[in-house]
Every structure is written in structure tokens, then in C-alpha cells.
Amino acid sequence: MAGDSRIGILALQGDVREHARVLAGLGADVVLVRRPEELASVDGLVIPGGESSVMDKLARAFGLQQPLRDVIAAGLPVYGTCAGLIMLADRLTDAIEGQQTLGGLDVTVRRNAFGSQVESFETDLDVPAVGAPPVHAVFIRAPLVEQVGPGVETLAALPDGTVVAVRGGNLIGTSFHPEMNGETRFHRLLMGMAQRR
């Protein structure tokens, strides 16, 4: 992948370093985004895993909530993992009181759907959009997608049908953490979308 992609990582909280390592390894020019002016300079954005309610509060405190909503609405390619998926969802269940999302992805997401940290798990998923072999997916206090809107494509589901990866327009969301185990194909997908803008 070409190094002319400037990919931002929302660097308020969460596993920023892991995403930066994957993107740099793919040749992206990585920008850590903490201010609106940094957001304006990128061709794509990753919203990492972490704690979605904290991320929401910090985005508002740093004056990033509305700029993020604006770039999402304007078509900036964005990839959200775990808490990032929660941030991109139009609707949440089990949100804490007052929690807001950025929205843009016509899905309903349930926070911490698989239970606490001790109930984290790993599994292999077929994801036709990124090709073979299966994706080894790491789920840590993961959300799940309860409802998928008509304009959103399901990219992956668990054997019981639980949706854990989606794509809608310029937005990709996964319940799991590909950056944790060297899986690069979702980041490649984001970079490809960024280069086609």
C-alpha cells in the first residue's frame, strides 16, 4: 500500500499504539488526532478500542465531537474497532446515562455484550470482504451488532449469527481487535477507501 495515505488515529484513549504500528507497517503516514486541526489533515481515520463512554466524554471536552460528526457525514473513511464501533453506531443499548455516539453507521450496538474481561475470547471468522484465510478475531469486553440497517453490509458473524463486523458507506466497524494479533486486512481496506477519495 502506498505511503501517500495520511491515516489518523483518534488518540484520546484506548489502544492507539497497536493501530499505529499496523498502519505504519502498511506504509501509511500516521497522524495522532487530538485536535480538530489534526482531523482536517487526514484521508482516513481509526477509532480504536478502549472505553467508549470515556472516549465520548473526551471527544466533547476536546471540541472534537462535532468535527468528527462533520467529517463522517462528509464521507471520510473511518474504521472503528470495539469501542470505535460503539462510537460509530447510530443507536446504543446498555449505554451509560448521557452517553452519546458520533453516529453515521445505521446499526444498533450493545455495549459489553459478551460480559466482562474474563469472558474475552478468540475465534476464526470467515470475512469474504477481506478474502482468505479466515480472520483470527480477538474479542475483549466486546460489543455486538443487534440490528443492521438497510444500507449496511454484514462483513462477519459468529456461528450463532451474531453480527460482529459491518460496513456502511465510508464506515467499517468490528467488535474485535485485529490490531492485537497482526491482522492487517481491515486496515488495508480502510487505506484503500482513503486512496479512492
The catalytic residues are 82, 177, 179
What backbone phi and psi angles, to 5 degrees, belong to 112? Answer: 45, 40
Length of the chain: 197
- Which residues face 109 on adjacent strands? 92, 145
Q: Is 79 helix (H, G, I), strand (E, B) or coil?
A: strand
The alpha carbon of residue 197 and the mean position of all alpha carbons in its chain are separated, in whole angstroms, by: 19
Q: What is the CA radius of gyration of the chain?
A: 15
**Angstrom distance (rounded) from CA 9 to CA 164:** 21
- Where do the H-state alpha helices sit in 33-158? 36-39, 52-61, 65-73, 83-88
The residue among 161, 120, 115 whose CA lies nearest residue 139 is: 120
CA angle in degrees (0–180, nearest 5) for 159-122-111: 80
